[in-house]
Amino acid sequence: MVKRKTKRKKRIISSQDTGSYIDTDTVLLRNRAVENAVLDNFMIRFPHLLLHSHFYYKFIEGGACTIGNHAHLHWEISRVCSGCAEYSVEASSHSFQPLPTQYVVLPPKVTHGWTMQASPLLTHSWQVQITAEDATGEQILNEFKEYIVASGFLVEASSSQKQVESVLWQMAGKNYPAQIFGPILSGFSQIVLGELIAKVNPWPAGFMDAGNNSQAALSNLAQRMKVFLDDNLSNSVTLDDMESHFHYSGRHLNRIFQEIYHCSIGHYLRVQRIELSKRWLATTDRSIKDIALSLGYSNSSQFCRYFLSQAGQTPSGYRQTILSANTERVQQSVREDTAT
């Protein structure tokens, strides 16, 4: 029910299922902002599966509203939190009205539409790209699709999902900044998706606990990043390249790498490139400019600054030190041969 207040105050709508309130003006504003975001705005990692989610709200205050038949490239998970809507799914040739306790789960490329049956209508939903990373993941994903279709595209929400949702509504109404609101959405997605998929493929006991957090998966990702970086020391690889390769945001990748290896991706690259440059300086006659460009530095001056800070001397000074040391070893060897 919409409560009207003075013009200076915004309208609010009660979310009866959670017993909290959400600011409709904020929802409308956030809806415009978040719906335009890329799919991997909030990213979640499960064993054998890679999931990228994109969350958004939709609020319709009154009047008839019909969304014609359409299909998505990714999974769509929705919940009607206030009002009533009737969904039609072409794949199963039937219509249904989801209860306030149910999620509507639609696999990719399933044609569907919906009509508002009562107003005001408040829904929250997100699209999720789910990619199987191995044969086990393929099996999980296929079983999940079969389970959803057999369930008539409706899945009951758990108590934990409703608890997190209650916090979500409260935070949305207070218009928290994205850096605070984003992790809540990501955590909410993890709870819902984890519990949905667990219905057909239960995770190990305690997997959803914050303390467990699939540490093995994080370590595996960090190790894959390290191999990628080591293989590309002589290429001008950037954080954008890593985002494209691993399908995670640069911020997320850097946080995981730092957690496992206790240094940033940029710092690791600089250190390893300096170590590689030392080998080239000691074993080849390549120019300093050529080495700098080969390691992705924009100019030799930038390379020399990093080298000096890491090695305590300039590249030319380091090369001279190595040459002098090699000469001394040769001379010492000659002296020893002469003495014997």
Residue 25 and residue 148 in one domain: yes
Residue 49 and residue 186 in one domain: yes
Enclosing domain of residue 300:
215-323
Residue 268 and residue 137 in one domain: no
Q: What is the band of 309 on the pLDDT scale with cuts at 50, 70, 90? A: confident
Residue 185 and residue 234 in one domain: no
Residue 232 and residue 85 in one domain: no
**pTM value surpassing 0.85:** no
Q: What is the band of 202 on the pLDDT scale with cuts at 50, 70, 90? A: low
Distance between CA 238 and CA 226 in Å, rounded? 14
Give the tens place of pLDDT for each residue, 275-292.
Answer: 988 888 888 888 988 888
pLDDT higher than 50, residue 187: yes
Burial 115-145 (b: 16+ CB within 10 A, else e): bbeebbbbbbbbbbbbeeeeeebeebbeebb
Q: Identify the CATH number of the domain in which residue 287 sits.
A: 1.10.10.60
Give the tens place of pLDDT for each residue, 80-97.
Answer: 877 888 999 987 778 899
Residue 232 and residue 192 in one domain: no
Residue 35 and residue 162 in one domain: yes
More confident residue, 58 or 202: 58
Region 247-266 average pLDDT: 84
Q: Identify the CATH number of the domain in which residue 69 sits.
A: 2.60.120.10
Residue 167 and residue 274 in one domain: no
In-domain check, residue 133: yes
Domain boundary among 163, 198, 233: 198
> What angle is formed at CA 209 by the lines to CA 204 and CA 211, rounded to 5 degrees?
110
More confident residue, 339 or 77: 77
Residue 290 and residue 162 in one domain: no
- Number of DSSP helices (H) and strands (E) in the chain, helices first: 11, 11
pLDDT for 107: 93
Residue 194 and residue 220 in one domain: no
Q: Which two tokens stand for residue 263?
A: 């240094």
Residue 177 and residue 224 in one domain: no
More confident residue, 201 or 139: 139
In-domain check, residue 339: no
Region 144-149 average pLDDT: 89
Q: Which of the residue ranges 108-112, 182-186, 221-225, 289-293 would you say has the lowest mean pLDDT? A: 182-186
In-domain check, residue 239: yes
In-domain check, residue 208: no
Residue 293 and residue 181 in one domain: no
Region 288-305 average pLDDT: 86
In-domain check, residue 338: no
pLDDT for 81: 78
User: What is the distance between the terminal CA atoms of the chain, rounded to a whole angstrom?
Assistant: 102
* Number of domains making up the chain: 2
